[in-house]
Structure 1
């Protein structure tokens, strides 16, 4: 016969897993949005930057699936299924912890790596190259020019990239262009700020989102592990009918 305590834990775990399944969808969406944003400038970054959002999407998918295992195990009062559920949560928790540590280690060399990547792409900025497309996309999206400043493009003697030219009204981050932009009818201004700091700020903003989501889901996972183990222990102790 079931006790009130077992019923309470069982339905508490069931409700928790419904919330857990919804949080899994939230993780997938957050990871997808960050990955989509990162993909716009992944030419200048390494796979280390793409790793965390991909891991988050995978973790969210697994969370969504195993939440139903937790629900089923709770309702059926299955000792083994509850232990399997707790074990899977623990694996995901360790995986997220490992990704967090790897991201922290990578961050120490992030500035130098990003600058080197930008410089390398700049030296290969010629027509019909991937670097040409990547730099133009970056400068247009972030309204920037060069790495630290527009003159990083060695102006003169080389002309400004078309994507450095601004054809709108005067703004805070633009300066009067030289004849190149005006001659090609690309506007009267050129972006005055470099792309490194803007790109770094954007990546750090995405990182904060991933960290926040990761911490939140890690807390939920710990609660799920405790509840599952508690119910499994109660079932074993009271000799539940589905203790197999």
Structure 2
């Protein structure tokens, strides 16, 4: 039968520990990637965050399934082990779907960014308040990526002046590098291309994380169903052993109890 039932049991228990650890890592990585995309959601669009959000939800569900798998492996109930295996299959399928979804968004993110960033730029350009939220977001974006406008400084022609963030000056933010003291160097590239590269990089990380998680966690499917098969074989062997013992008992009955007791030797009557 290959490995014994106890061997498969301890393999499944070990897998569930690793399963839970992978869920913790997945939770941390997906949460970090959500943050990286969330920071620039006004320019990238919300659709780019959805694969990472789904991956975060799967990390939470994976922790629950790991706990269920641990309990079922210790109880050695075949039907419960099979249900756990089915749950692991669902997790792996959803994570692989998350990989496909992230790759689809990765392929189409350029179109989404072009429409979103242009709409936001036109809205911010019409705002004359330099301390408004939209203006500050644009300043931070231009300082972070060292860019100016969507396609270049010429986007500010209608306004008549270029903001200081196009040369590294803007609202103080500890995340950004120190700002220049003057505006002697004007950024010539637009923010559309660097933001597009940034979004594609984050989405690629989301896709690779989902793919790696689905491949690594799929090993538990085989271990779980092999354990269920081992439990089934052990039960069959136990039934066969009990049946053979009963058949042996009926085939060789103890006739000693059926024999009549030894009669006393006949004695002559006394006269």
- TM-score interval for Structure 1 and Structure 2 normalised by the shorter chain: 0.7 to 0.9
Once the two structures are superposed, residues 66-89 of structure 1 have per-residue CA deviations (whole angstroms, 9 ceiling, x without a partner) of: 112112211221223212221211
Bigger Rg, structure 1 or 2: 2
Matched, 1:196 2:184: no
Q: TM-score, normalised by structure 2?
A: 0.74
2:160 paired residue number: 158
1:177 paired residue number: none
Deviation at 1:4, TM superposition (A): 5.8
2:22 paired residue number: 23
Deviation at 1:13, TM superposition (A): 1.1
Deviation at 1:23, TM superposition (A): 0.8
Structure 1 window deviating more from structure 2 (191-200 vs 224-233): it is 191-200
1:74 paired residue number: 73
* Partner residue of 2:213 out of 213, 217, 230: 217
In structure 2, C-alpha distance between the alignment counterparts of 1:23 and 1:4, rounded to whole Å:
26
Matching of residues 77-156 of structure 1 within 5 Å:
77-125=76-124, 126=127, 127=129, 130-154=133-157
In structure 2, C-alpha distance between the alignment counterparts of 1:87 and 1:136, rounded to whole Å:
50
Contact 1:69-1:81 within 8 A present in 2 as well: no
In structure 1, C-alpha distance between the alignment counterparts of 2:136 and 2:94, rounded to whole Å:
35
Q: TM-score, normalised by structure 1?
A: 0.82
Gaps of 5+ in 1: 168-181
Deviation at 1:109, TM superposition (A): 2.9
2:250 paired residue number: none
Once the two structures are superposed, residues 113-162 of structure 1 have per-residue CA deviations (whole angstroms, 9 ceiling, x without a partner) of: 211211111111113655323322211222211122222222x6521123
Structure 1 residues 213 and 120, CA, compared in 2 at 3 Å: closer, same or farther?
same
Contact 1:166-1:188 within 8 A present in 2 as well: no
Deviation at 1:211, TM superposition (A): 2.0
Q: Number of matched residues?
A: 222
In structure 1, C-alpha distance between the alignment counterparts of 2:187 and 2:87, rounded to whole Å:
50
SS in 2 for 1:116: helix
1:171 paired residue number: none
